[in-house]
């Protein structure tokens, strides 16, 4: 089975976020791909009418650029958080996004940009580099409680009692990359013990890296 993502996902605030919700038993949500295999790096967000999320972390989240790749290429941030796009390569990059949730452009630069980019709207922001087409990064700006699936394709969430819907998004989903699929918890079938859910979304394999330079510069050992 194709295992496309071997990226280390560093979410420093996540542990803290989960501990604050530990008053009730966590619900395990299993996400599978179209072939029934556990889907890693899927973002599961709990949809709530009245969000009671804490104020976002004022420190920007780092999305570095190493070997003509965004590192990490998927980050989950809260609405209102900022992301800093340092350039660790010795070449310049031109980072941009035309996504609905955020359009921005960091014209050819090297090193650390002057400022981080704030993400005021929730949604999916796809970032690219204008001069390196193969560089694709995803920033999931969550409004509510959200989590990325582990290697087993699972997330464990303390679901508020009023929760009726969740959304699932994945960078390689077949659907529009900026759209999230919404599932009703009531009409999905459970797995394992009570409160455990299984959802599937279809994915496509990521496109091969199609430039000579990209494949040449990429070091797989990292």
Rule CB under 8 A: which residues touch other proteins? 96-98, 103, 126-130, 133-136, 176-177
CA dist 129 and 196 (Å) reads 40
Q: Whose Cβ is closer to other proteins: residue 2's or residue 98's?
A: 98
Minimum Å gap between C-beta 212 and other proteins is 14
CA dist 183 and 164 (Å) reads 9
Minimum Å gap between C-beta 72 and other proteins is 16
Q: Whose Cβ is closer to other proteins: residue 43's or residue 157's?
A: 43
DSSP string, 148-189: E--TTSEEEE---TT--EEEEE-TTBSS-TT--EEEESTTSP
Minimum Å gap between C-beta 93 and other proteins is 12
Long-range contacts of 215-218 (CB under 8 A, 24+ apart): 217/67, 217/68, 218/67, 218/68, 218/69
Q: Whose Cβ is closer to other proteins: residue 43's or residue 136's?
A: 136
Q: Whose Cβ is closer to other proteins: residue 99's or residue 154's?
A: 99
Minimum Å gap between C-beta 156 and other proteins is 29
Name the token pair of 94.
């031109």
Nearest to 216 by CA among 136, 110, 92, 132: 132
Q: Whose Cβ is closer to other proteins: residue 24's or residue 103's?
A: 103
Minimum Å gap between C-beta 32 and other proteins is 23
Chain CA centroid to CA 85, Å: 16
Chain CA centroid to CA 72, Å: 10
């Amino acid at each position: 089975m194709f295992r496309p993502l071997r990226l280390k996902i560093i979410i420093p605030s996540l542990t803290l976020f989960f501990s604050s919700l530990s008053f009730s038993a966590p619900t395990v949500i299993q996400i599978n791909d179209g072939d029934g295999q556990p889907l890693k790096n899927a973002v599961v967000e709990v949809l709530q009418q009245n969000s009671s999320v804490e104020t976002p972390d004022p420190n920007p989240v780092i999305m570095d650029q190493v070997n003509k790749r965004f590192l990490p290429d998927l980050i989950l941030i809260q609405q209102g958080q900022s992301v800093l796009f340092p350039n660790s390569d010795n070449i310049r990059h031109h980072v941009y996004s035309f996504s609905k949730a955020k359009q921005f452009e960091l014209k050819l630069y090297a090193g650390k940009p002057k400022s981080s980019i704030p993400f005021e709207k929730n949604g999916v922001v796809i970032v690219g580099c204008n001069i390196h087409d193969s560089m694709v990064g995803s920033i999931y700006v969550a409004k509510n409680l959200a989590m990325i699936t582990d290697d087993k394709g699972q997330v464990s969430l303390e679901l508020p009692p009023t929760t009726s819907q969740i959304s699932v998004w994945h960078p390689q989903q077949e659907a529009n990359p900026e759209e999230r699929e919404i599932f009703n918890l009531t009409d999905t079938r459970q797995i394992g013990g009570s409160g455990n859910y299984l959802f599937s979304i279809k994915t496509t394999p990521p496109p091969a890296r199609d430039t000579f330079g990209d494949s040449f510069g990429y070091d797989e050992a990292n």
